[in-house]
Amino acid sequence: MSFGWTGDILRVDLSSKRSWTEPTEPYTRSFIGGRGINVKIVYDEVGDTVTPYDPENRICFGPGPLTGTLAPCSGRMKVTAMAPNGLMASSGIGGFIGAKIRHAGYDNLVIQGKSDEPVYLYINDGSVEFRDASHLWGKDTQDTQQVIKEEVGNSVETMCVGRAGENLVSFACIVTGLGSAAGRGGFGAIMGSKNLKAVAVTGSRQIRVSNADQFVPACERAQKDIRELPAMQKTAKEGLGELYSVAAFYDAGQLTLGNWEVEDASWDEVGRFDGAEEFYKQYAGRQYGCFACPVDHYHVFHVPEIGTGTTKCTGWMSFAGNVWNNDRKLMFHANYLCNRYGLDVTATGVAISFLMELYHKGIITEKDTDGIPMRRGDEEAIITAVHEMGKLEGFGKLLRDGVWQAAKTIGKGAEECAMVVKGAELEPYEIRAFKSEALIAAIAAGTLAEGLSVEFAYLGDPASVGEWVEATYGSKEYAVPSVHEGKALIFYDYENRLMVADMLGLCHWIFPRRIPSFEIPAKLFSLATGRETSWEQLSFAAQRAKALERAFDVRRGITRADDTLPKRMFDTSVPGGRFDGERLDRQMFDKMLDEYYALRGWDEQGIPTEETFKRYGLTSEWRTLGEAIADKKKPAKEIVTDD
């Protein structure tokens, strides 16, 4: 009998329309669950000749052994696959879909193959139906979910792609509910490449818990602890802090101005980020949260001339300073459309800021963008661009394979303006000022989607975060954004914590962002599964999974030269705001990289060593990596470097 885990992984082959189960148990000792198991499956099963849209690519959905249980904040699931940029990526999704997969009796869901016709999956406990989706093709993410509900019943939770995913837009996302998305990574395009429109799930199977008598009070305690955090009490009252977030992010110096450009760039051109209260007063509806969340920090917005939708912090930021806009209604409108088309808000925002810079510099004119001048902050330019990308019409086609490919097509120096790392669009953070964010962006290829570094937490609450950083890492200074020292250590450790949360199925917003200690999750995991496991053991498993993630990318040709940022990040300084003039030093960056590699047990080229693999017990996995290194395989796909 399995405790904590349901015991089964559901495997689906869309080519043969076959489904079967595989026991979870062989994976759990080394990889725990969730993202850990996803990573192991992608590493083992996606070979070096497979391309992202190949039917042989796997798309893995990994709730964790705590997802769907009484543990607070256990509504999370991680999606992992070889992303459209040819590397392994993971993106989290909330709402209720992860819990439903678990309630249907599955720990993970792994989909391979490609259907000849548009199809959606309907999973109801042991029954897996491949249902025709031709009538859903072309429908947006909200209508799709509605139609599926009408077809199979009100109790399903659905995740689906919109037109962007169908059209293989490389930054298409997967959406569930009103606006929960596996946003980064381009997994909407992976689903689209498999002709998979949606996955609908309902379930009525049991998840057994090893020690219910202690698990219940431990969950209750954790729930109350989270609810009583001052930051959570604030969000319970006024939402995720979105109320002030764009302004707050500006004040914290996190917000980017334009395409991280500096030539004649001034915040004066954007204007002030006030007006949030007015927007909320006029349009905010109910607050809500994900499954088992003790804080309802999201808002539903009803804007009569646009529609009903939602947006969150990165969503607001993605259409703010970077596209020279301070109009909240316009920010909402762009988010609303992205959610409907199934576009990642972050990459969509970066694509628009890219076009705006090209227009401003005269590299493109309105002739290149269907007669719409891509003027900074222009409403028509922003909204038209989102429509064209979502529908794959007009100049939207140019951006189908992402900003980097678009830049190469345009030429004339456009490459310099492509703010991408390893083919993935950066997140709209002023990483020149935040040294650990810079490191995260360079290593995680812009797909990490955390934006939750210790530095951000520190600015929000210097006293208690500073104290924690001193106690954990040795010096308060390490939390200060402008300091390079200690950043590799903090990022390394924080990354392990994020991975543990992803393996268990817990929300990053709380673990580790609000509660950096993993004593509580380790305890809940031990009580649920009956395996007494310490935080250190969980962290060790996280390091093991990180080694495999990296090794997958190394097999595809990634080396140190790719762990870098667009040239501009080193050559220019922050143009105004709180960190005006702040620079990212290339030498210091290299030093951070060295430190980070050493902590991870990678050599100076960023390749995990045989010794490291042995330490994590990855003997058979070393064979595939060792062979790849010996073969000196060339990159499967062209990748971007800063030179």
Judged by the rule CB under 8 A, the positions of this chain that interact with other proteins are 68-70, 72, 96, 99, 103, 145-146, 149, 154, 177-178, 203-209, 212, 215-216, 219-220, 223-224, 227, 285-294, 296, 298, 300, 308, 310
Of the two residues 225 and 477, which places its CB atom closer to other proteins in the complex?
225
User: Toward other proteins, which CB reaches closer, 99 or 136?
Assistant: 99
- CA distance linking residue 333 with residue 382, whole number of Å: 10
By beta-carbon proximity to other proteins, the closer residue of 95 and 188 is: 95
Q: Is the dihedral of CA 579, 580, 584, 588 positive or negative?
A: negative
In the complex, the smallest distance separating the C-beta of residue 293 from other proteins, rounded to whole angstroms, is: 6
The total of other beta-carbon atoms located within 10 Å of residue 29's CB is 10
Q: In the complex, what is the shortest distance from the CB of residue 478 to other proteins, in angstroms, rounded to a whole number? A: 34
Exposure of 27 in the CB half-sphere (CA atoms within 13 A): 29
Closest contact distance (angstroms) between CB of 335 and other proteins is 15
- Calculated CA dihedral for residues 444, 98, 23, 82, nearest 10 degrees: -30
Nearest distance in Å: CB 429, other proteins: 27
Tokens at 471, concatenated: 């106690």
Tell me the closest approach of the beta carbon of residue 91 to other proteins, in angstroms: 20
Q: What is the DSSP letter of 521?
A: H
Residue 5 vs 171, nearer CB to other proteins: 5
- Residue 190 to residue 170: CA distance in whole angstroms: 8
Q: Are 498 and 510 in contact (CB under 8 A)?
A: no
- At CB < 8 A and 24+ separation, what contacts does 601-606 make? 601/547, 602/550, 604/560, 605/559, 605/560, 606/550, 606/554, 606/558, 606/559, 606/560, 606/563
CB of residue 525 vs other proteins: minimum separation in angstroms?
A: 15
Q: How far is the CB of 351 from other proteins (least distance, A)?
A: 28
Q: For residues 221 and 578, which CB has a smaller minimum distance to other proteins in the complex?
A: 221
Closer to other proteins by Cβ: residue 177 or 423 = 177
User: Given the complex with other proteins, which of 4 and 185 has the nearer CB atom?
Assistant: 4
Euclidean distance between CA atoms 62 and 78, whole angstroms: 5
Beta carbon nearer to other proteins, 140 or 401? 140
Smaller CB separation from other proteins, 524 or 554: 524
- Give the C-alpha separation, 123 to 574, whole Å: 50
Contact partners, residue 596, CB within 8 Å, separation at least 6:
439, 443, 488, 491, 492
Q: How far is 482 from 479, CA to CA, in rounded Å?
A: 9
The residues, ordered by sequence, that sit 6+ positions from 349 with a Cβ below 8 Å of its Cβ are 317, 318, 319, 322, 323, 334, 428
| Contacts of 203 by beta carbon, 8 Å cutoff, 6+ apart | 100, 101, 102, 103, 104, 105, 123, 124, 125
Cβ nearer to other proteins, comparing 157 with 553 = 157
Would you say 244 or 288 has its CB closer to other proteins?
Answer: 288
**What is the rounded CA–CA span in Å between residue 312 and residue 617?**
40
State residue 20 phi and psi, 5-degree precision: -155, 170
Dihedral, CA atoms, 109, 110, 112, 117, nearest 10 degrees?
10
Q: Smallest distance from the beta carbon of 501 to other proteins, in angstroms?
A: 19
Distance from C-alpha of 469 to C-alpha of 474, rounded to nearest angstrom? 7
Q: Which residue, 366, 310, 299, 355, is CA-closest to 336?
A: 310
Least distance in angstroms from the C-beta of 242 to other proteins: 14
Tell me how far, at minimum, the Cβ of 30 lies from other proteins, in Å.
Answer: 25
30 or 158, CB closer to other proteins? Answer: 158
60-to-51, 157, 545 alpha-carbon distances in Å: 16, 17, 15
Beta-carbon count within 10 A of 129 CB = 14
DSSP β-bridge partners for residue 122: 129, 200
Min separation Cβ 504 and other proteins, Å: 15
Distance of CA 479 to the CA centre of its chain: 23
Q: Give least dist CB 74 to other proteins, A.
A: 9
Closest contact distance (angstroms) between CB of 92 and other proteins is 17
Question: In terms of CB distance, is 99 or 169 closer to other proteins?
Answer: 99
φ/ψ of 90, rounded to 5, equals -135, 145
Residue 2 CB, shortest distance to other proteins, in Å, is: 11
Least distance (Å) between residue 237 CB and other proteins: 12
Comparison of 160 and 457: residue with beta carbon closer to other proteins: 160
Nearer Cβ to other proteins (238/610): 238
- Smallest Cα–Cα separation from 592: which of 564, 559, 550? 564
Give the span between the Cα atoms of 142 and 176, in whole angstroms.
8
